[in-house]
Structure 1
Amino acid sequence: MSDVSKDAGGAIPPIKAECAEVIAEVWTLLDGECTAEKKAKLRQHLEDCPPCFQLYGLEERIKGLIATKCSGERAPDSLRERLRFEISRTTIIRGQF
């Protein structure tokens, strides 16, 4: 797997398509909203790809922080769907470069 850290010139190397797909699905895994098959596939990738695993850990900590600070409040479904769409769209756009 490619290393997502900066190279000697300070540039971040391109993310592999497989990694972009995993990154786009990280929150569905964290929220328990994916199928058992998808969960197994994501977990296997995370075990085999240290950069994605590191990102997963960061997202997991962010989710925990949000849960702590929001005291169990839940965003309206329309807002959640808009955010999911924008996150997905951003990930797809980044994966194209």
Structure 2
Amino acid sequence: MGNDDSCADFIERIVYFLDNELCATDIEAVQAHLDGCRPCLERYDVQRTIKALVARSCSESAPDTLRQRVMLSIREVEIEIHEA
């Protein structure tokens, strides 16, 4: 199990680990830490889930009906601003 002092550095590197932005040595160190530290592994799982949700959300497009409602709302606000 890790402790707060040894975990702080790994928590910071989890984001880089998820984005494949670490060198091989750092990847091994982070993986070894995650294998033995449940709190950090849980944080990693949360970060990985968030990253996957954001990626999925960014690849989906809004339905046309929603786009039309949003554009209509924007136009209504613009009209109200110009009339004020």
TM range (shorter): 0.5 to 0.7
CA distance in 2, matches of 1:49, 1:55: 10
1:65 aligns with 2:53: yes
CA drift of 1:71 comes to 1.4
- Which of 2, 18, 25 is equivalent to 2:13? 25
Determine the C-alpha separation between the residues in 1 that align with 2:7 and 2:26.
14
Which structure: larger Rg?
2
Point out where structure 1 has 5 or more consecutive residues left out of the alignment: 3-14, 73-97
Q: Give unpaired runs (5+ residues) of structure 2.
A: 61-84
Structure 1 position 18, deviation (Å) = 1.4
Structure 1 segment 44-55 matched on structure 2, within 5 A: 44-55=32-43
Which structure's relative contact order is higher, taking Cα pairs within 8 Å and 6+ residues apart? 1
What SS class does the counterpart of residue 59 from structure 2 fall into? coil
- Normalising by structure 2, what TM-score? 0.66
- CA RMSD of the aligned region, Å? 1.6
Give the distance between the partners of 1:32 and 1:17, measured in 2 at CA.
24
CA–CA separation in structure 2 for the residues paired with 1:17 and 1:46? 15
Q: Which aligned runs of 4 or more in structure 1 are off by greater than 6 angstroms?
A: none
Query: Structure 1 or 2: larger helix share?
Result: 2
Query: What TM-score does the superposition give when structure 1 sets the normalisation length?
Result: 0.58
State the one-letter code of the partner of 1:37.
Answer: T
Q: Percent identity?
A: 33
Aligned to 1:16: 4
Q: Distance in 1 between matches of 2:27 and 2:41?
A: 14
In 1, Cα distance between the equivalents of 2:29 and 2:23? 10
